[in-house]
């Protein structure tokens, strides 16, 4: 949909927030905290950004964008070419990082720009008077986006700022934060990969994988996604038609399907946004994405077509 930039705030020297309203003035569909949207910046680059406003606000989406020095057009264009009144193309909200409704307590771990989905969660948890603590790790106060908001009521009571923690000390800090919560508390994290790895390692030790939820902003390094199958060829079968298509080494399933006239919606093409996930009826996938949870991957009943491959000779897609 077309959205208009209603307000821009410099949250820090490198993070800018954008409040977006529909160009046609209509209300927005409700979304759950943790959701993200595709935003197409001037120049045509589309990126995913978490919604970080109050989820109950059906007038506007708020996103926050960190200007990345190595930006290939997404964050740089939003910082340099967008002003109040600019029109942007924005997708509908999707959520791969939801609060667990069964959890009685929540511990949120944010680092840097990873604060954005967790801020939306904090709004919801405050609104519903749920028990939670938000631990916000950041270099120093001037780099802490939304610091004033989080340091004031109704959030202040729930938020702990951790400034300048050295990487080597991170596990000890995270352990201490985790131990301050009940063993039943669910853990949510978003931030740079090494930070999330430390949070997940600590959380899994103390409460098991089912209680740990995370959101990736970037695809994992290829080495981290590598598998024993390498890039071997396999086949995909289309359940509705019986058509069988070979997927050669070096080709993705989405590209092979497109070549056969079957267009799958995609956005990131890096296995992080979830747009291209489809149900799987047969075969064993080699999951290489960062959007399905471990539980979803273990079920082997859906597959992310832009990056994942096969461990079995054939996959049967529910298309």
Contacts with ligand FES, residue ranges (CB under 6 A): 266-269, 271-276, 289, 291, 304, 306
Q: Which is nearer to ligand FES, 185 or 276 (CB)?
A: 276
d(CA 205, CA 31): 32
Residue 254 Cβ vs ligand FES, minimum distance, rounded to whole Å: 7
Whole-number minimum distance, CB 233 to ligand FES, in Å? Answer: 20
User: Which lies closer to ligand FES via its Cβ, residue 105 or residue 318?
Assistant: 318
Q: How far is the CB of 290 from ligand FES (least distance, A)?
A: 8
| Smallest separation (angstroms) from ligand FES to the CB of 308 | 9
Q: Which is nearer to ligand FES, 111 or 307 (CB)?
A: 307
Q: Residue 44 Cβ, how far from ligand FES at the closest point, in Å?
A: 16
Minimum CB distance to ligand FES, residue 230 (Å) = 20
Tokens of 108: 């949120």
| Complex with ligand FES: residue 116 or 275, whichever CB lies closer | 275
Q: Output the CA torsion 282→285→290→293 (10° steps).
A: 50
The residue (of 153 and 222) whose beta carbon lies closer to ligand FES is 222
Cα separation of 44 and 307, whole Å?
A: 22
The SS3 of residue 301 is coil
The interaxial angle of helices 170-179 and 193-207, nearest 10 deg, is 40
> Which is closer to ligand FES, CB of 62 or CB of 290?
290
The per-residue DSSP string of 216-272 comes to -SSPPPHHHH--TTTT--EEEEETTT--EEEE-TT--HHHHHHHTT-----SSSSSS
Cis ω for the linkage preceding 154 (within 30 of 0): yes
Extract the tokens encoding 20: 């977006």
3-state secondary structure of 84: coil
Q: Judge contact between 153 and 165, C-beta under 8 A.
A: no
């Amino acid at each position: 949909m077309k959205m208009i930039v209603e307000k821009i705030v410099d949250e820090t020297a490198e993070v800018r927030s954008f409040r977006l309203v529909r160009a046609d003035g209509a209300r927005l569909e409700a979304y759950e905290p943790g959701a993200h949207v595709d935003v197409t910046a001037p120049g045509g680059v589309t990126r995913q950004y978490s919604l970080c406003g109050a989820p109950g606000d059906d007038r506007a989406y708020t996103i926050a964008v960190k200007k990345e020095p190595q930006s290939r057009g997404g964050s740089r264009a939003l910082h340099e070419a967008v002003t109040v009144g600019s029109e942007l193309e924005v997708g509908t909200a999707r959520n791969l990082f939801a609060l667990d409704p069964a959890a009685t307590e929540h511990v949120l771990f944010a680092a840097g720009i990873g604060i954005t989905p967790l801020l939306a969660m904090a709004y919801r948890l405050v609104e519903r008077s749920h028990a939670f603590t938000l631990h916000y790790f950041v270099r120093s106060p001037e780099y802490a986006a939304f610091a004033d908001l989080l340091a004031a009521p109704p959030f202040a009571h729930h938020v702990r700022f951790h400034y300048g923690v050295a990487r080597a000390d991170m596990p000890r800090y995270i352990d201490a934060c985790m131990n301050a919560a009940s063993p039943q508390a669910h853990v949510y994290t978003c931030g740079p990969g090494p930070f999330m790895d430390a949070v997940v390692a600590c959380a899994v030790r103390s409460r098991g994988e089912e209680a740990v939820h995370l959101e990736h902003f970037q695809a994992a390094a290829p080495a981290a996604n590598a598998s024993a199958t390498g890039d071997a060829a396999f086949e995909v079968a289309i359940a509705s038609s019986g058509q069988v298509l070979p997927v050669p080494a070096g080709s993705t399933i989405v590209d092979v399907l497109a070549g056969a006239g079957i267009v799958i919606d995609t956005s990131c093409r890096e296995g992080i946004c979830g747009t291209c996930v489809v149900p799987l009826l047969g075969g064993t996938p080699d999951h290489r994405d960062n959007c399905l949870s471990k539980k979803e991957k273990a079920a082997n009943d859906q597959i992310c077509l832009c990056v994942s491959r096969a461990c079995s000779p054939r996959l049967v897609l529910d298309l």
